[in-house]
Amino acid sequence: MRVLGIETSCDETGIAVFDSEQGLLAHEVYSQICLHAAFGGVVPELASRDHVRKLLPMLRKLLADADLASADLDAVAYTAGPGLAGALLVGAAFGRSLAWGLGVPAIGVHHMEGHLLAPMLESDPPRFPFVALLVSGGHTQLVLVNGIGCYRVLGESLDDAAGEAFDKTAKLLGLGYPGGPALAALAAKGDPDRFRFPRPMTGRPGLDFSFSGLKTFTRTTLQQASKGLDQDQLKRLKADIARAFEDAVVDTLVLKCRRAVEQAGVETLVLAGGVSANLQLRARVDRLMAERGGRACYSRLEFCTDNGAMIAYAGWQRLRSGAREALAFEVKPRWPMTEL
Ligand code: KG4
Ligand code: ZN
């Protein structure tokens, strides 16, 4: 079965074809970063309009690259939520119309289930049961995964998501949008011993997170330590703050991962979502799971952030278990994974 995947929940247009026999046949991602950079964040209406512009040419190129005709597609999967309502509607309308025209089934996929299953596209995929740490711009969750659709949320962020905390902190340090990767690059040059930021909610039991205090900590540290500095010293200060911030987030995430795998009694930890591209986090979960005699799994870097391949794959998993959509469709800008 060949499934087309369409991702338009935020600021990336992603499209891919997954073949249940041959694996991923082709994929394309277009990032709208340039479009939104001047505004310092995603402008929802501009995002929707750009998805409209990009989808059709991207589909044509994708099919040409994979040497396929549209009639070779057996199903269409699209992101139905959570995400920006207008952006979701573009992908949903496009996907449903295409499926209708081709006479094939369509399926609306949960964006976070897409992220969660993305590591299954790799050559040595994780086996159930496992604990997944989902860390994106909108979500931070620890989920016990017993199979496709068998998800139990063990803990989540009570305020900012990890990616959101990276982005907001990056903005405070003048790194622009989207700040996560830039902040991580700057942190690599920072001194790990100059500042120590708090590890929020680690001193009490439980698996929830809270990252919003870290940006206040960043702001006050920057204000206090930057007085009277020349340009070079300011540059060094920002790198040291970036390092302290990244260490605090990574330490906190890893500590809760350890608790979650201990509590669930599993040997596999899956890392997924945009922040799973963070190299320090990847190295730390590798070490954590190696010490426990288990293993950590994550995607190749390009499938950590939003992409169509994860939607095609999750769509195939849903379709093979018999899921089909009625003709009427809706998108769900807010959609707890516990409703799956
Ligand atoms: O999964 P994703 O592409 O979109 C959402 O579903 O939100 O995640 C994007 C988030 C952004 O907040 C971005 O700053 C963060 O992932 N991110 C990173 C890194 N690469 C992307 N955060 C930390 N380190 C990175 N290397
Ligand atoms: Zn995402």
Confidence of residue 323 (pLDDT cuts 50, 70, 90): confident
C-alpha neighbours within 13 Å on the C-beta side of residue 64: 6
> Given 1.10.10.10, 3.40.50.300, 3.40.50.360, 3.30.420.40, which CATH number is that of 128-298?
3.30.420.40
Q: 336 and 113 in contact (C-beta within 8 Å)?
A: no
Backbone phi, psi, residue 31, to 5°: -95, 135
Q: How far is the CA of 274 from the centre of ligand 1 (A)?
A: 3
Contact criterion met (CB below 8 Å) for 256 and 158: no
**Whether pLDDT at 79 is above 90:** yes
**Mean pLDDT value across residues 72-82:** 98
User: Where does 2-117+303-339 sit in CATH, by number?
Assistant: 3.30.420.40
Q: What is the mean pLDDT of residues 330-334?
A: 91
Burial group, residue 236, by CB count within 10 angstroms (0-12, 13-18, 19+):
middle
Residue extent(s) of CATH 3.30.420.40 domains in the chain: 2-117+303-339, 128-298
* Mean pLDDT within 219-244: 97
Q: Please choose from 84, 252, 284, 305 the residue to mutate so as to test ligand 1's pocket, defined by most ligand atoms within 8 A of CB.
A: 305
* pLDDT greater than 90 at residue 245: yes
What is residue 138's three-state secondary structure? coil
State the Cα–Cα distance between residues 268 and 271, nearest whole angstrom.
Answer: 10
pLDDT score of 274: 98
Position 328 pLDDT exceeds 90: no
Instruction: Give the pLDDT band of residue 177 (cuts 50, 70, 90).
Output: confident
Q: Which atom of ligand 1 is nearest to the CA of 139?
A: 7
Asked if residue 241 has pLDDT above 80, the reply is yes
Query: Which atom of ligand 1 approaches the CA of 12 most closely?
Result: 3
CA atoms within 13 A on the CB side of 266: 22
In the chain, what percentage of residues exceed pLDDT 70?
100
**What per-residue confidence (pLDDT) applies to 214?**
96
The answer on pLDDT for 327 being more than 80 is no
| Consecutive H or E run containing 181 | helix 179-187
Which of 166, 173, 177, 311 to mutate to test ligand 1, by most ligand atoms within 8 A of the CB atom?
Answer: 166
pLDDT band per the 50, 70, 90 thresholds, residue 192 = very high
Q: Name the DSSP class of 173.
A: T
Pocket of ligand 1 (CB under 6 A): 10, 115, 136-138, 163, 166-167, 178-181, 184, 273-275, 277-278, 305-306
Number of H helices, E strands in the chain: 10, 10
Instruction: Find the mean pLDDT for residues 309-316.
Output: 98
